[in-house]
Structure 1
Amino acid sequence: MKIAYFVHNLEDPAVAKRVAMLRAGGADVTLLGFYRGEAASAPHPDVKTFSLGRTYDARFAQRIGKVLQNLARVGRLKPALAGVDVILARNLEMLALASAARRLVAPAASLVYECLDVHQLMLAGGRVGTVMRSLERRLMAGVALLVVSSPAFIREYFKPRQDLGGRLQTPWRLVENKVYGGADADRVNRPAPGPPWKIGWFGAIRCARSLDILTDLARRRPDLADVTVRGRPSYTEFEDFDAQTRATTALRFGGPYRPEALPALYGNMHFTWAIDYFEAGANSSWLLPNRIYEGGLHGCVPVAVAGVETSAWLARHDLGVILDKPTDIEAMLEGMTTARYEALSARAGSAPASLFRADQEECRGLVAALAEAGRTTAKRGLALNVEAAG
């Protein structure tokens, strides 16, 4: 099966992971997308990649402008879409472009919408929010399958706000942000339990409140907590990320990482910080972040806050520590005993790897679901043609 994958950022590690999963499931993938760095790059050297231009973080108007530019020249994508069975669009801005491309140059392909975040504009009141939700509904009318990474996106957004299952009859599939590829998940030699407790905050770094809490804790209590931050910060969300992470020796930022580094990163930590207030009460409360799967695969104990989907997932699987509020981290660490930590660590280490890692079977299942979406689209088109002929 041939899949054309429209993505918002060619350099996003999550894009590379999804491409790898699709290929492992038996699909031939062509990648089309914007890039955020100095030049476009391909996640795999043998994957055909088409650059749609450069966009920038936190510049929504500029990104929309780039989408409109490409909409005006969508015919140039015809060679990239020749013979594709499925057009997969990652997030709404790419759905707009992918929908036009399908309509104009690849009408036989089915359209799949992969929604991994619900942008705050989709929840806004007033005219802006109304227009954005209306646009999404219109585009979803042509979607054969909706792919989400958390069931809360369906429960909290698509069903109540977009009437999924009512006006929108689109089927949906859950594909969690599990680890795929990288180093083997052999159990690692974790530091001996005891203060200073080592906390790792890894992945998409965009929560200013989390950084404030962790830097304050590390500054006041270096005897209790030692914090390592790794990943890709959204610098526009912080007043001065670099200065703040250099302010105390008990907290350090080590830059981005590759999947191969996961065992070493999490192997040096006692706890995974899995708290996010970037879009509190909405997207941050609904998502299931990569870090609970990355940390879980390597036996690191996650720390979450009550009342969000992450804590519900952890409670369901009897994992981690759930705080009433994030500032309770200090009291939790003060009361942590060797025996309690060893019990928490044992639960994390004994959880089945399939809870955290996507295997070959899951990859094949994802591609099969996309193929089924294509068959459904074909049957729908045939029925319409028969009706029209009649």
Structure 2
Amino acid sequence: MPSPEQWTRPEPGAGPAATAAEPTPEQVIAGLRATTEGGAELTQLLTPEGERIPSAMFDPYVTDVDAEALRGLYRDMVLVRRADREANAMQRQGQLGIWVPLLGQEAAQVGSGRALQARDMAFPSYREHGVAYTRGVDFRELLGIFRCTDHGGWDFQRHGFHPYTIVIGNQVLNAAGYAMGQKFEGKVGDDDNAEATICYFGDGATSQGDVHEGFVWAAVYDAPLVFFCQNNQWAISEPTERQSRLPLYQRARGYGFPGLRVDGNDVLGCLAVTRWALDECRRGNGPVLIEAFTYRMDAHTTTDDPSRYRLSDELEVWKHKDPIERVRVHLARSGGADQTFFDDVDAEADRFAAELRDFCFNMPDPPPERLFENVYSEPSPVLDAQREEYLSYLAGFGAGEH
């Protein structure tokens, strides 16, 4: 009979997790959440109180993060949150068809996004607005998706950021294939031109077959792929403990590659852990699974009402772990920033939101020929003929009738 300890926190190297006996609900919940801080295996460099915690393993990956760099990460998170809140408000006003909030997940996205190098590729789901921002994608391009005027018009090769994927988990297969291509083309190794791929998905996606197939293919081919799971505790209306008996990061052991859990509200920790994982991949050591233990502070989308399935007490607990506030406190206490800096960032965020609002309210409808742009990398006679036929068809209507 397996012991409760095997369910609550099986240690790496202690043998396989128990499978023969049914755990109690209490054991399942204890194993998945352990504590509201993420359990004993949680990697954390910056506490909710703004205290810096040393880490022999991960400190070498953030030696370049001085006060100036930390101010930059703080600014990133503030701007991303302000843009997210503005987009959420615009959806409520009928300017966007839907919006997918990222409130509470700014550190996971900004930290991991800033860990990427220019030659790396990121595959998002539909909530990675913060990652898009760090990859240089114009936030206005994101608004077009949710206003239903386009499917994402940025150059994904130039930005190293693939288009959004709505089908749950499908991006994991796409990322696995791309990373396998990097391996086949010899783009891994110890040289400075090595590449890696990162793929983002939520805790709910781990219940999809596509994710597990991606794990298998990446493991078998030692693909340079970081699986970045943002465990925000809720897959729409289902908590994590309804989907897995073990903490999600431990699933990597079954596929033969490393898995680790980081405080997803700690931007410094996310930056360090992701840099380490990307380096592992670039050197040819195969894939890595990162579980960023965070919390979705808002609805799954603007069509969701989270008050129907979770308690307000839970939300209040996580407010004390706010990813932005802990950086603010650390900077203030360490003398890394003064009130003028914080006020300037807030003012910049307000200007950023105003620009987005003005753009969204005055966003022109795209011309019909845009439907045929960027379909293929080279000219296609068949596509050209379809475009001409469609435009000719539209021209047969009077102005404003189509």
Give the TM-score normalised by structure 2: 0.30
Q: Which has the higher contact order (CA 8 A, sep 6+)?
A: 2
Greater fraction of residues in strand: 1
